[in-house]
Amino acid sequence: MEKNNPCGEFEFRSGSLNGFLMIAIDICLWALTVFVLIVAVAQSPGSLDWLFGVFAVLLVASIVFSCGFTMLEPNEAKVMTFFGKYVGTFRKTGFYWLNPFMGSKNVSLRVRNLNAEPIKVNDKMGNPVLIGLVVVWRLKDTYKAIFDIDTDISSSGTVGAAASVRMNKFERFVAIQSDSALREVAGMYSYDNANDLNEVTLRESSAEINEVLTAKLNERLDISGLEVMEARINYLAYAPEIAAVMLRRQQAAAIITAREKIVEGAVSMVRMALDKLSDENVVRLDEDRKAQMVSNLLVVLCADEPAQPVINSSSVN
- DSSP code per residue over the chain: -PPP-TTS--B--SSEEEHHHHHHHHHHHHHHHHHHHHHHHHS-GGGHHHHHHHHHHHHHHHHHHTT-EEEE-TTEEEEEEETTEEEEEE---EEEEE-TTSEEEEEE-S-EEEEPPPEEEE-TTS-EEEEEEEEEEEE--HHHHHHSS----TT--SHHHHHHHHHHHHHHHHHHHHHHHHHHHHTTSBSS-SS-TTS-BTTT-HHHHHHHHHHHHHHHHGGGTEEEEEEEEEEEEE-HHHHHHHHHHHHHHHHHHHHHHHHHHHHHHHHHHHHHHHHTTS----HHHHHHHHHHHHHHHH-SSPPPP----S---
Please report how many Cα atoms fall inside a 13 Å half-sphere around the Cα of residue 209, on the Cβ side.
28
- Predicted local confidence at residue 117, as pLDDT: 87
Q: Which of 93-97, 127-131, 298-302 has the lowest mean pLDDT?
A: 298-302
Pairwise pLDDT comparison (303 vs 140), residue with the higher score? 140
Closest residue by Cα to residue 302 from 267, 257, 254: 267
- Predicted local confidence at residue 317, as pLDDT: 47
Quickly count: other Cβ atoms within 10 Å of residue 93's Cβ: 12
Residue 115 makes CB contacts below 8 A (sequence gap 6+) with 132, 134, 234
* pLDDT band with cut points at 50, 70 and 90 for residue 6: low
Closest residue by Cα to residue 133 from 31, 59, 202: 202
**Alpha-carbon separation of residue 10 from 13, 87, 88, 105, 110 (angstroms):** 9, 8, 5, 15, 19
**Is 60 exceeded by the pLDDT of residue 203?**
yes
Pairwise pLDDT comparison (209 vs 161), residue with the higher score? 209
- Predicted local confidence at residue 1, as pLDDT: 39
Pairwise pLDDT comparison (153 vs 127), residue with the higher score? 127
- Predicted local confidence at residue 124, as pLDDT: 86
For the 112-238 domain, the top CATH level (class) is: alpha beta
Q: Which of 15-19, 287-291, 300-304, 313-317 has the lowest mean pLDDT?
A: 313-317
**Is 70 exceeded by the pLDDT of residue 93?**
yes
Residue-wise pLDDT for 266-293, tens only, equals 777 777 777 777 777 766 766 777 777 7
Quickly count: other Cβ atoms within 10 Å of residue 242's Cβ: 14
Residue 88 makes CB contacts below 8 A (sequence gap 6+) with 2, 9, 10, 11, 12, 13, 14, 80
Please report how many Cα atoms fall inside a 13 Å half-sphere around the Cα of residue 189, on the Cβ side.
22
- Predicted local confidence at residue 151, as pLDDT: 67
Q: Which of 36-40, 97-101, 159-163 has the lowest mean pLDDT?
A: 159-163
What is the pLDDT of the chain when averaged over all its residues?
A: 79
Residue-wise pLDDT for 152-176, tens only, equals 665 455 555 777 888 888 999 999 9
Task: Over range 231-235, report the average pLDDT.
Answer: 90
Residue-wise pLDDT for 244-266, tens only, equals 666 666 666 677 777 777 777 77
- Predicted local confidence at residue 10, as pLDDT: 86
**Is 60 exceeded by the pLDDT of residue 3?**
no
